[in-house]
Amino acid sequence: MNRVTSLLIGALLAFSNSAIASTAAERSDLNLRQGVSDISLEVYDLHMLMFWICVVIGAVVFGVMFYSMVMHRKSTGAKPANFHENVKVEVLWTVIPFVILIAMAWPAATTLIAMEDTSEADVTIIVTGSQWKWHYKYKDNPDVEFFSLLATQREQINNKFTKGENYLLEVDRPLVIPTGKKVRFLITSDDVIHSWWVPDFAIKKDANPGFINEAWTNVNEPGIYRGQCAELCGQDHGFMPVVVIAKDPAEYEAWLQAEEATAMRAKEEEQRLLSMNMSMEELMTQGKKIYDTACVACHQANGGGLPPMFPALKGSKVALEKQNIPLHISMIINGKNNMPAFGKQLSMSEIAAVVTYERNAWGNNTGDMVQAKDVNAIINGK
């Protein structure tokens, strides 16, 4: 995208409605964003170039047709002419569009080549999509890894609470990347095809199970950038947003250190909890919280599920029979059929809590209490 074209586009934009043009900081209701990277700006400019060429073509063609509809009507006396071919004209209107296409293809090709060059990255993030959340891992700081789930409350979705400003575009743990550095994303999936999309970076790449794809960006401005999954992936396809926070490199480093420290502490905490027992109250409270975040979408708030796809937990053999406690724990850790594995997403005490909750809620009332060390035993193959 060269300077001249950018200038021309700039001039055209100056004439257009300010609602149509958009700046990096603003989001437009009508148009693509310019975004926050050099590439996203190139993409935006290319889009506007294409748009205006199409507008001009449309205006010319429709203009001729509307003129004809007015001037060549029978009711005002027009008599039909006799021609029905003209080789010169036909050649012209075959060649001219062809030339216009070449004019479009050239900047498109250069931008594309730039976009697909992922070499010499400063930071690499491994992005894994699954039903229905994202997982991020910092390749060079592998202790820093976490799931990123939709944070909007179910009650907002079900119209019981007012919807917040970032309704459906907020997560519990956003991805954090540095500005001014080349950040590479290695994208894959754990189950079906998802697609990782951040409009402000002009990145959209499919997450294919068993395969990795790459994309990169270099963000110019710190800020919070929101995107969504862009490939139908099942029930909650519309409920797995992408949120990326870009921080200045110094802030980013500080954040990364803090995260590593937190990850260390969390591991130690896990070990400590292994020797502790939580009370029934603690288990039920925490269990319900986990259930409402991670399980309710499929198994429903009343434990009734949506059989046969999502079995009921209320009154189910797995949740009621004592000999099924190991199976119950194992299913949550490893998943089964269409149920995803939560072993990496939930800590041992969280799993213990949610199993306890499921075994005692909705009238199940088994009185069973599962502790972190029970979960630990299952993980270690007891």
Segment 159 to 218, residues that bind other proteins, using CB under 8 A: 159, 163, 165-169, 186, 188, 190-193, 195, 197, 199, 202-206, 208-214
Binding span for other proteins by CB under 8 A among 66-74, 172-180, 244-252, 278-286:
66-74
318 versus 320: smaller Cβ distance to other proteins: 318
Pairing of strands 194-198, 203-207: antiparallel
Tokens of 29: 């209701």
- Site membership for other proteins, residue 158 (CB under 8 A): yes
82 versus 279: smaller Cβ distance to other proteins: 82
- Site membership for other proteins, residue 374 (CB under 8 A): no
214 versus 282: smaller Cβ distance to other proteins: 214
Residue 339 CB burial class (10 angstroms; 0-12, 13-18, ≥19): middle
105 versus 224: smaller Cβ distance to other proteins: 105
- Site membership for other proteins, residue 141 (CB under 8 A): no
- Site membership for other proteins, residue 323 (CB under 8 A): no
- Site membership for other proteins, residue 224 (CB under 8 A): no
- Which residues, 342 to 371, sit near other proteins by CB under 8 A? 343
How far is residue 353 from each of residues 14, 34, 155, 364, measured CA to CA in Å?
A: 59, 46, 22, 15
Residues forming a β-bridge with 223: 246
HSE-up of 23 (CA within 13 Å, CB side)? 5
- Site membership for other proteins, residue 312 (CB under 8 A): no
The site string for other proteins over 240-279 (x = CB under 8 A, - otherwise) reads ----------------------------------------
240 versus 246: smaller Cβ distance to other proteins: 240
One of 18, 68, 277, 302 touching other proteins (CB under 8 A): 68
- Which residues, 278 to 297, sit near other proteins by CB under 8 A? none
Residue 97: what are its φ and ψ, rounded to 5°? -55, -40
Residues forming a β-bridge with 242: 227
Identify residue 276 by its one-letter amino acid code: M
- Site membership for other proteins, residue 93 (CB under 8 A): yes
3-state secondary structure of 301: coil
Binding span for other proteins by CB under 8 A among 274-282, 284-292, 328-336, 355-363:
328-336
Residues forming a β-bridge with 92: none
Tokens of 221: 């401005």
1 versus 278: smaller Cβ distance to other proteins: 1
Report how far apart the first and last C-alpha atoms of the chain are (Å, whole number).
62
How far is residue 17 from each of residues 13, 33, 98, 179, 296, measured CA to CA in Å?
A: 8, 15, 30, 31, 45
- Site membership for other proteins, residue 13 (CB under 8 A): no
3-state secondary structure of 351: helix
- Site membership for other proteins, residue 34 (CB under 8 A): no
Asked if 358 and 364 count as a contact pair (C-beta separation under 8 A), the reply is yes
- Site membership for other proteins, residue 227 (CB under 8 A): yes
One of 16, 18, 23, 235 touching other proteins (CB under 8 A): 235
